[in-house]
Amino acid sequence: MNKEKNLDLDAAMIFLSGVDLFINLEGEIIESMAERMDTIKYEAGEYLIHEGNPGEHMLLIKQGKVNVMLKDKEITLGKGVVLGEMSLLSGNPSKADVIAQTDTEAFVLERDDFQTLMSAHTELASVMTRLMKSRLSVEDGIHTLGKYKILNQLGEGGMSIVYNALDTELGREVAIKMLKYEIATSEDFKKRFRQEAKIIAHLKHPNILHVIETIEDYSTEFIVMEKLDGYDLNYYLKHQGVFSGEKTRNILYQVATALEHANSDLSGGIIHRDIKLSNIVLDERDHVKLMDFGISTTNENAGEHYEGTVLYMSPELLLQKPIDHRVDIYALGITAFAMLTGKTPFTASSIEGVITNHLEKEPARIEDLVPDIPAGLAEFIHRSLIKDPEKRISSWLEIESLLSPSKSSQFKLEASSEMDLAIIIKMKSDDVDKDELLREIRWTLDRHRADYELETTKREEQKLDFDLN
C-alpha cells in the first residue's frame, strides 16, 4: 500500500461528482470532501480492508478491481464503488475482507474528517441518512442492531425514521426510531433526542408509549420502543372520516390522564408541547397511546425553547411568553375540534395567517358544526381554546370530569352508597409483570374516583384489598 499526500484537487472533484452516492451534492461540498482526501495505491492481492478491523476510513475506488469476500459469496467491484462507509459510521469491525484483484488506486477519507464534513454540510448528512435507510431496508444490508433484527420500515418524519424489529431474546416485535444524520450531527439535537428517551422511560402510564432502551451506533441514536397496534388519529380521520362525539370524548379522556401523569410533580412536570392528531395512536380496542415527546420540556425549563406545530400552538407559545401545561390543554382542544370536524379551527393559506388567527380569531361554535356533541366535550373545547391562559381551563381533574366516558360505559356499583370489595389475585406465572398489572389496576380505580387501600403479601400471589366508596 502506498499513500500519497499530493492530490489533484480538480481531478478528485470531477471523480466525486460522478459517484452515485454523491452525485447530487453541490460543488462546495464536493470541494470540501476533495480537500480532505488522499490517494492510496494497492498492488494486486493486497488487502484494502481486513475483516474484524474497526472502520477508520472510507475508500472510493478510482481505478482497478477488488474482491469483497463475504461468508457465502465473493463479489467483484470496480471504479466508482464506495467501500467501508458503514463501518466508518459505526466504528464497528468490518464484516468482510476486501482484496485488490488488480493494481488498484483509491481515494481515502478518514473517519474524523468525514464526521467534520457531515457536521458542516447538512446535505452530506442527508446523503448518509439515505444510505443508512437503504442498508436497513435491503435483504443483504444491515440485519441487526444489538439484539434486534430489523424487519422493515414503519414510517419516516422530519427528524427520524422508524423501523419494525424483532427482539431475538424475548421473541417480541418492537419499534426502533433512528435519528437522521442531518439531526444527529447537531449535539443539541442529539441531547434532546436522548432527553426524549429518558423522559418517556420514566413515564409509566397505560396511555403513554413505553421506551425499552436507547442505543448509540452508526454515529447516530436509536430509541427502542414498544410496537403499537393501530394507527394515529390523522390516519383514521383521512380514511374513516370524522369521529363521533362519544368516541372523541373517550379518546381525549385517555390523553388527558396521560398528560396529567406526565405533568405531575412525581413525573418531573413534563409539558408535551406537540399534542396533535399524528401523535396519538388508537388501537382496535379504542385504547390510546400518546407518543413523540421529542420537543417536550419541563415546567422548570419551559422558557428555553418555543417549539410546536403551528396549527396547534397556543397564543402564549407563539408569542414566546411564559408557558406551562396549559399549552397542551389548548392543543388538546384543537385536536378535539379536528376530530369532530375534519379540520383545525385556525387554518389559513399561510403560516402568518394561521398565527394571526390563533392570536385574534375566535373559533367557530362547535355546537353549530356538530349538533349532537356531548355537552361536557363541547364545554371542554370552548374553555380549552380561550386565548388568555389565565382564563383557560387548567385543572386536569375538571377536564377529566368533562371528558369522562358516558355512564353507560362506566363501571357502576348499584348496591349501597358505600361498599367494601376485596379482590384476591393469585399469580400462576412468573411471566406476568406484577408492577405493570398493579399500575393498570390503580389507573382504572383512579379513573372512577375510587378510594382504595392496597395490601401485598410476601408470597408469589398478590392480595389486593380495595375499599370502594
- Tell me how far CA of residue 469 lies from CA of 63, 283, 410, 466, in angstroms: 82, 32, 15, 10
Angstrom distance (rounded) from CA 349 to CA 337: 19
Cell of 308: 410546536
- For residue 264, give the 3-state DSSP assignment: coil
Whether residue 282 contacts residue 236, with contact meaning beta carbons closer than 8 Å, is answered with yes
Whether residue 94 contacts residue 53, with contact meaning beta carbons closer than 8 Å, is answered with yes
Residues in contact with 32: Cβ distance below 8 Å, sequence separation at least 6, in sequence order: 117, 120, 121
- For residue 382, give the 3-state DSSP assignment: helix
Angstrom distance (rounded) from CA 436 to CA 444: 12
- Tell me how far CA of residue 372 lies from CA of 184, 230, 238, 368, in angstroms: 48, 27, 22, 9
Angstrom distance (rounded) from CA 424 to CA 127: 58
Residue 233 Cα to chain centre, angstroms = 16
Question: How big is the chain by its Cα radius of gyration, in Å?
Answer: 28
Tell which residue, 419, 426, 421, 420, has the closest CA to residue 456. 426
- For residue 423, give the 3-state DSSP assignment: strand
* Helical residues (DSSP H) of 385-462, grouped into ranges: 396-403, 434-447
* Residue 274 annotated to the active site: yes
Cell of 105: 488506486
The DSSP H or E segment spanning 420 is strand 419-425
Cell of 338: 379536528
Angstrom distance (rounded) from CA 266 to CA 87: 42
The catalytically annotated residue of 97, 232, 274, 292 is 274
Angstrom distance (rounded) from CA 442 to CA 98: 59
* Helical residues (DSSP H) of 308-374, grouped into ranges: 315-318, 326-341, 351-360, 366-369
- Tell me how far CA of residue 122 lies from CA of 19, 82, 181, in angstroms: 18, 20, 8
- Known catalytic residues? 274
